[in-house]
Structure 1
């Protein structure tokens, strides 16, 4: 059977021949015209067949549709939990692949983060004013409300990464590491320390008056399915977190994004990772934001087996074709076609201001456009256990974080050793934190000045 690409090529050749024949004799012109007409009919038929729904084997592995339980206090929002109710929250997470924790940020912290985001945007976009709707046009809907920077290091954003309630929520959800028997070389004090991502935030503008401000809707996975399944190698442990050249620009923070998509489940697991968003404003169904496919984490392995090879999933030849967007170090994002029936299984997860939405990285997720008069603002977070990193990557990562925090003169908390690999009271950018296990299993921090600790 002639493929669409072959028909396109023949159509182009016939069109070129017709243009040449236009300067030649009438019989040649007529013959070229007939050939062009025949190809046009075949091309139209080929397009029609491509639009027909074709059952794909991986569709059979999708989870059954799941309705989400609503909050007993306010049915506008999905059921949520306090950080002190870890058992119920974990049971919900295991079933649905995500969970919402209440009151992670208080009202003052939400307001401070929101103000910080606006200050950043006003600095980056001259003429923008947070209180003047007429200036919001300068923001882009194409980037899903994300800043261009790969990671943001501003005071309140960094403070949120060290939030004790956020840490407790992640600690409740992430599986614990086995005992290291004292063999743990890391800037973090314990294999079960929660390492926090260095990420960014998003802003969705109100769209009632300006429909053009709506962001595109999508579903995806921030993981290479074949790498996670151990079928492709991951080079995540070779990340240096140093500046790289790309198109004449330097991207010292790009490795913080790469580490998210290059995670591996086998043969050497990088552990379970959870993604999340700290919600800064009440986020109703119509305000747009995160949507998820509940239960997908439990069918992930069967789905990968049904996909075939990575090479079979690199291009979107038809409207029902999904595709793999490859990234470095074995990472990738998997994109779902807008025609894929998985969209019928997705559910929005509305949540209150100050709440935290966490989801298993193996859960298909994406965004829904804002269809309201309200803003949507959130800070993205991600966490994993320190013991999942090799020693070399852990130290390289700490140096990159230290460089960013030191340059910005940002305040650290008592959780800094766990989330950043840095002591709370470090004062010299060249100070290298070293942790060692003492008798009784206690963990202590020392600061050692070494030439090797200089930032790259």
Structure 2
């Protein structure tokens, strides 16, 4: 599928998401200022310069990568390009165990909301009377059977995953070391996130066969609000502080989505903190397999981009923490795929515009999303979070938290 056709496919959805159901013009009035939204004009948006992804000298199918002990090299690369690939954070055995657990998660319908608190007696009875069609890993013809929600984005459902190998990966010392190096601190809290999979859209030995139904959406976005985060305008700064305080007060962890929300409100650039996101690949992931893409070096230019469209997109999307790049913005066609080997992890600066490109191969893409944030304690939010995490960790069969894991999960203090 060409980029032009991707633009057409998302245009209607993009307009709905960005403009909402009301007028395209609105007022930003926080009691002290009122700003009228202006129409979005792509020709006036700051053009972020393109930088090509450096490739691995030993195998140019993949992005340049480092080992977790190359702290100086990976830090310098991260500062310049806004992302870095760390290889061999998982062993071959850990990759196999992660893939097996991902399939077990699908086959057992672990993505169902009822799995969070357990099915009711009525639901159990209904399953016995009319067993649901199940996904089976060895039979692609079943991969349409009740596929998880968010499949269009390559994410396996809405729920954070608390299972043995997924939790092992979250307390992996190499993964922790890489995050600690880039965030320049030891006291971290690991996010309890989700799994991802792109089903293969091509059939081996049948080059003309394409399963369009399994194509995921082309996406480019920020998991923060660029205007609230980077601009000095008083109206955005006041709104950022207010929104962050309100969001934090809402995180009770009674709902599983709170684990997904917790790392989207990161304050403003004036705080001086480093905010990152990441994902771990379980299988080799080449360009045509689809998956993670990024606008290289975007973190150096996000503030200029945001300033150039603050009176249009900035006003319109002031309350969002996930901001999609408009399909008419020149930036929309600029991201590049970050291809990685199995067992590799990519970490990116949260100021980077990123997203995913659809699969165009006979290979699936399988991954685990992972974030960290500065550890905190002594608040009702921290206590609520720890209580739920402790309960879910205890329910994970065969898993035992290490001393490092207990600290990363927020179950023990950093000394």
Compute the displacement of 1:408 (Å): 3.1
CA RMSD of aligned residues (A): 2.4
Name 2:103's counterpart in structure 1: 118
C-alpha separation between the residues in 1 aligned to 2:175 and 2:308?
A: 36
The residue that corresponds to 2:363 in the other structure is 374
Q: 1:155 to 1:142 in 2, by over 3 A?
A: closer
Deviations 1:341-398 (A, max 9, x none): 11332111000000001101110001000000100000000112215x7744333322
1:361 lines up with 2:350 in the alignment: yes
Deviations 1:236-274 (CA, angstroms, capped at 9, x unpaired): 44244332xxxxxxxx2111111122111256x383221
Partner of 1:453: none
In structure 1, what is the Cα distance between the partners aligned to 2:77 and 2:238? 30
1:126-205 correspondence to structure 2 within 5 Å: 126-138=133-145, 139=147, 142-176=151-185, 192-205=186-199
Structure 1 length normalisation: TM-score? 0.68
Deviations 1:13-54 (A, max 9, x none): xxxxxxxxxxxxxxxxxxxxxxxxxxxxxxxxxxxxxxxx94
In the TM superposition, 1:10-29 aligns within 5 A as none
| 1:398 alignment partner in structure 2 | 386
Match of 1:48 in 2: none
Deviations 1:286-322 (A, max 9, x none): 00000000111111222222232587553xxxxxxxx
In 2, distance between residues paired with 1:219 and 1:204?
Answer: 17
Counterpart of 2:297? Answer: 295
1:19 aligned residue: none
- Listed one character per residue, the Cα deviations across residues 117-175 of structure 1 (whole Å, up to 9, x for unaligned) are 11111112733110112111223674423222331101100110000000011011113
**Which moves more between the two structures, 339-348 or 406-415?**
406-415
Distance in 1 (CA, whole Å) between partners of 2:389 and 2:319 is: 26
2:392 alignment partner, SS class: helix
Q: Distance in 1 between matches of 2:367 and 2:60?
A: 21
Deviations 1:176-195 (A, max 9, x none): 3xxxxxxxxxxxxxxx3121
Deviations 1:56-103 (A, max 9, x none): 43x22x431101111111110000001111111011111110000010
- Shift in alpha-carbon separation, 1:75–1:106, aligned structure 2, 3 A: same
Q: Secondary structure of 2:268's match?
A: coil
TM-score normalised according to structure 2 size:
0.75
What SS does the aligned partner of 2:322 have? strand
Bigger relative contact order, structure 1 or 2 (CA pairs below 8 A, ≥6 apart): 2
SS in 2 for 1:291: strand
Distance in 1 separating the partners of 2:269 and 2:381:
18
Superposition pairs of residues 416-435 of structure 1, within 5 angstroms: 416-423=405-412
Moved more, 400-409 or 128-137: 400-409
- 1:292 touches 1:364 (CA, 8 Å); kept in 2? yes
Aligned to 1:238: 249
In structure 2, what is the equivalent of residue 307 of structure 1?
A: 309
Change (3 A) 1:296 1:240: same
**Alpha-carbon separation, structure 2, partners of 1:270 and 1:258:** 21
Structure 1 residue 223, shift from structure 2 partner? 0.7
Q: Does 1:75 align with 2:60?
A: yes
Cα distance change, pair 270–197 in 1 and its aligned pair in 2 (3 A)? farther
CA distance in 1, matches of 2:315, 2:164: 42
Q: 1:390 to 1:402 in 2, by over 3 A?
A: same
